[in-house]
A and B are shown apart, each in its own frame.
Chain A
Amino acid sequence: MTAMTRRDVLKIAAAGAAASLPGLPHSAHAQTTQKRDLVVAQGGDIAHLDPQLSTSSNDIRISFNIFDNLTSRRPDGKLLPGLATEWKLQGQTTWVFKLRSGVKWHNGDPLTSADVKFSIDRSLDTNLKGNRVNTVLTTVDHVETPDPGTAVVHTKKPDPLLPARLGFYGGQIIPKKYVEGVGGDTFNQKPVGTGPVRFVSWVKDDKLVLEANPDYWGGRVDFDRLTVRALPEMAPRVAALLKGEVDLITQVPPDQGERVKSNPTTTVSGALYGGLYVLAVNSKRPPLDNPLVKQALSMAIDREAIVKELWRGRGIVPSGMIAKGDNHFDASLPPLAFNAGEAKARLKKAGYKGEEIIIETTAGYMAGDKPMAEAVQAMWRDVGVNAKVEVLEYSVRAQRIREKSFKGLWWSDPTSTLRDPDGMMWRLLGPGGPQDYWRHPEFDELGNAARFSVDEKFRADAYKKMTQLFLEHFPWLPVIQPYEDYGLQKYVEWTPDPLQQLEIRRFNFKFRRA
């Protein structure tokens, strides 16, 4: 914001607004459009444009489109070439990636393997202030760059999941020369990537503007400009969609789905979230350090009612720590039980003395966060828990995540980045991870072993055992695996992906033209 004057920003904003005025060729009733601008509204502003400093959904929706990965995950789960055209395993622990030729950064510099090495090294750098992806690629030992078009990744132990790991956050490739030149702070405000859109401007709490990258290797996108608006309040966000001011909105709460669907120009499109909505627990704080208390808390939650009433049926009750659709999801496990009587008994057994248990929730960052928190609070009060709800602003939540200063429980929507327990549960709950509040030697041992094993049977057993430990100690209280709904104008052709990336590359997004 310092280089651009306010007048520049206002001019761009005005241009953007003018482009979406009615009167331009765009009929509200037909299902086609001529517009060249895509306007997206999401439930919160961006915090960081540096892809290694944030994994929050508001940020990854942007960073996945400014940056590319070596491999690319499609909505159907398949892994396809990204910045790497092919990759081969040589021996047990060496992966050779051939880089796509002719790829340029948004500032014109050529992509080389030095950038790949730089990106991976930086993602693992624990000294990088605010690094949120340092546990994603911890299987990597070191990266070699024999020539500008080849990157060789050596893993510490055999890691069959490495290409998949590189396909999600933590694996985004960032420009070495630019970042080292301008420094991390500027990079965070003015990112440069290789993706289908490039950065133009950002007015905090208002809008972010990106423009199409004409030289994108995957084909130029079907629009000229992408504007991302922050509309944290749900009512104005939905209203903006219904009025035609925006083309796509995220986080449509189930209560509003009907309204959006029944509107003639808009529709709802959702995907079963490739992760879980959980109440993460600060297990270091009594009485949450007592497994019996946590078991009781879990048993006191009537998840069926939450799914049926608060989500209008758009979701499933989780059975453990692994999301449906992931590898090693155990379909034989029953959904987490609701038993108020047993919950009370366990509280008694635990010696619960009425200590305050706080749910620290945002209001609108995750769909249904505040209503679910209030519902859970009432359910807990019903079994005698002194439960309180504290509403936080999204920025305060981000702060508490960084400082690990939560007082009780908070909503988290851990994404399964690999469609594998290693990519979600282990990434977050493992030692040194962002939600490292609870440790258990057997859990840790199994998690580590499963990460590096190529024996699927071994892994299946390991995760089964870990699930048992999980259900005893509840470092998370899974609540629901919901369908994440998006609201779209009918002229938008787009498949939501289960992992919140908001892919708008050519293969996934286009405007329906006449």
Chain B
Amino acid sequence: MASSILASARAEPAPARRARRTRALAVGGAAFVALLILAALAAPLIAPADPIRQSLRGRLSAPTLEGADGKAHLLGTDHLGRDVFSRVIYGARVSLLVGFAAVVVGGLVGATLGLLAGFRGGWIDSAIMTLADAQLAFPFILLAIGIIAVLGPSFPTLIMVIGLSGWVTYARVLRSQVLVLRSREFVDAIHALGGSVARVIVRHVLPNVLSSLVVIATLELARAIVLEATLSFLGLGVQPPTPSWGGMVHEGREYLDSAWWISTAPGIVLMLTSVVVSRTGDWLRDLLDPTLRGE
């Protein structure tokens, strides 16, 4: 109901010129993510300093080309003298690791439940859809913090909680794809086109499903990264001294009036990542599957 209204409200005709521009932007966005992944993987090589190495002498120093220890600190040092720039790079590791893992977890659970709902129908379908509605109708973060409170913050718990916060979209999309497959129109279409069911599925349905999944995964990645950062900011995510963007913003809060770069640097990188990744998801959706709008 709401989705169709939203879809009609935002649909605009897309002339070819727009499509090309959107494609370029989507590619640009994907390149950014790829660059981030590369930076995260190559962190030990490109980070100028050890992210957990302390140097009490040079603590709280502003960005400089020559710090108290003679080295450059492009984004300054934090309250324990650790290089902020290096910590931001290593922080990318955490964000991407948790982000991707959560997306995979959510995707697997969601896809499974969606397929189940679509193929089995009946009360299983109703149950799963009600579950989905119920989860959407709830600020997940409260449940997340409640769960983490009892189980304690750890990587697996974090990934599981963040992953489970996003299964619904996958489930819905896959379910509708399955329903399309099973619909009368589709079966008729197969007969009309001729050829085996399997061939049709592979050549027409699968690409469709995959492109939907790619779009959802991208948008979910942005959301997962922000959720991880939020939980770390609250002290319920990645524990110190492991650098994480959210955790760094938390640590820098005390020094906002003096060493503002401690919070600002990771925060801006986080914001940038979130904006670019979610926009990339939007553009991918425009390109691949406009019917997903409003989901």
**Shortest Cβ distance from residue A163 to the other chain B in the assembled complex, whole angstroms:** 43
- Interface contact A389-B240, CB-CB below 8 Å: yes
Residues of A within 8 A of B240 (CB): 374, 389
Q: Which of A179-187, A302-310, A408-416, A496-504 has 4 or more CB atoms under 8 Å from chain B?
A: A302-310
Q: How far is B258's CA from A234's CA once the two chains are assembled, in angstroms?
A: 13
Q: Which of B28-36, B56-64, B131-139, B179-187 has 4 or more CB atoms under 8 Å from chain A?
A: B56-64
Tell yes or no: A255 within 8 A of B by CB: yes
Q: Give which listed residue, B54, B59, B81, B253, contacts A235 with CB less than 8 A.
A: B253
Interface membership of chain A positions 300-321, coded 1 if the CB is closer than 8 angstroms to chain B and 0 otherwise? 0010011011100000000000
Q: How far is B258's CA from A371's CA once the two chains are assembled, in angstroms?
A: 16
- Interface contact B258-A255, CB-CB below 8 Å: yes
Tell yes or no: A391 within 8 A of B by CB: yes
Q: Give which listed residue, B56, B60, B253, B255, contacts A306 with CB less than 8 A.
A: B56
Q: How far is B241's CA from A374's CA once the two chains are assembled, in angstroms?
A: 8
Interface membership of chain A positions 227-247, coded 1 if the CB is closer than 8 angstroms to chain B and 0 otherwise? 000000111000000000000
Tell yes or no: A375 within 8 A of B by CB: yes
Interface size class of B (residues with CB under 8 A): 10 to 19
Residues of A within 8 A of B53 (CB): 378
Tell yes or no: A259 within 8 A of B by CB: yes
Tell yes or no: A377 within 8 A of B by CB: yes
Number of A residues with CB within 8 Å of any CB on chain B: 20
**Shortest Cβ distance from residue A76 to the other chain B in the assembled complex, whole angstroms:** 34
- Interface contact B235-A375, CB-CB below 8 Å: no
Q: How far is B247's CA from A389's CA once the two chains are assembled, in angstroms?
A: 14
Q: How far is B81's CA from A235's CA once the two chains are assembled, in angstroms?
A: 20
Residues of A within 8 A of B235 (CB): 391
Q: How far is B80's CA from A235's CA once the two chains are assembled, in angstroms?
A: 18
Would you call the interface of chain B mostly helix, strand, loop, or mixed? Answer: loop
Q: Give which listed residue, A234, A255, A374, contacts B60 with CB less than 8 A.
A: A255
- Chain A: CB-nearest residue to B68: A309
Residues of A within 8 A of B253 (CB): 235
**Shortest Cβ distance from residue A387 to the other chain B in the assembled complex, whole angstroms:** 10
Tell yes or no: B289 within 8 A of A by CB: no
- Interface contact B57-A305, CB-CB below 8 Å: yes
**Shortest Cβ distance from residue A375 to the other chain B in the assembled complex, whole angstroms:** 6
- Interface contact A378-B54, CB-CB below 8 Å: yes
Residues of B within 8 A of A259 (CB): 257-258
Interface membership of chain B positions 53-86, coded 1 if the CB is closer than 8 angstroms to chain A and 0 otherwise? 1101101100000000000000000011100000
Of the listed residues B53, B80, B81, the one surrounded by the most CB atoms of chain A closer than 10 A to its CB is B80
- Interface contact B241-A309, CB-CB below 8 Å: no
**Shortest Cβ distance from residue B74 to the other chain A in the assembled complex, whole angstroms:** 22
Interface membership of chain B positions 237-269, coded 1 if the CB is closer than 8 angstroms to chain A and 0 otherwise? 000110000000000011111100000000000
**Shortest Cβ distance from residue B231 to the other chain A in the assembled complex, whole angstroms:** 15
Known: A306-B56, A309-B57. A374 touches B257 (CB 8 A): no
Residues of B within 8 A of A234 (CB): 254
**Shortest Cβ distance from residue A11 to the other chain B in the assembled complex, whole angstroms:** 33
- Interface contact A378-B241, CB-CB below 8 Å: yes
Tell yes or no: B52 within 8 A of A by CB: yes
- Chain A: CB-nearest residue to B255: A255
Of the listed residues B56, B79, B235, the one surrounded by the most CB atoms of chain A closer than 10 A to its CB is B56
Q: How far is B52's CA from A165's CA once the two chains are assembled, in angstroms?
A: 46
Known: A371-B80, A374-B241, A377-B241. A309 touches B256 (CB 8 A): no
**Shortest Cβ distance from residue B54 to the other chain A in the assembled complex, whole angstroms:** 4
Known: A371-B79, A375-B80. A309 touches B257 (CB 8 A): no
Residues of A within 8 A of B79 (CB): 255, 371
User: Which residues from chain A sit less than 8 Å from chain B, CB to CB?
Assistant: 233-235, 255, 259, 302, 305-306, 308-310, 371, 374-375, 377-379, 381, 389, 391
- Complex A-B: 29 CB contacts under 8 Å: A233-B254, A234-B254, A235-B254, A235-B256, A235-B257, A255-B60, A255-B79, A255-B255, A255-B258, A259-B258, A305-B56, A305-B57, A306-B56, A308-B56, A309-B57, A310-B56, A371-B79, A371-B80, A374-B54, A374-B80, A374-B240, A374-B241, A375-B54, A377-B241, A378-B52, A378-B53, A378-B54, A378-B241, A379-B54
10 A-B pairs with the lowest CB-CB distances in the bound complex, closest first: A309-B56, A378-B54, A305-B56, A374-B80, A235-B254, A234-B254, A371-B79, A309-B57, A309-B59, A375-B80
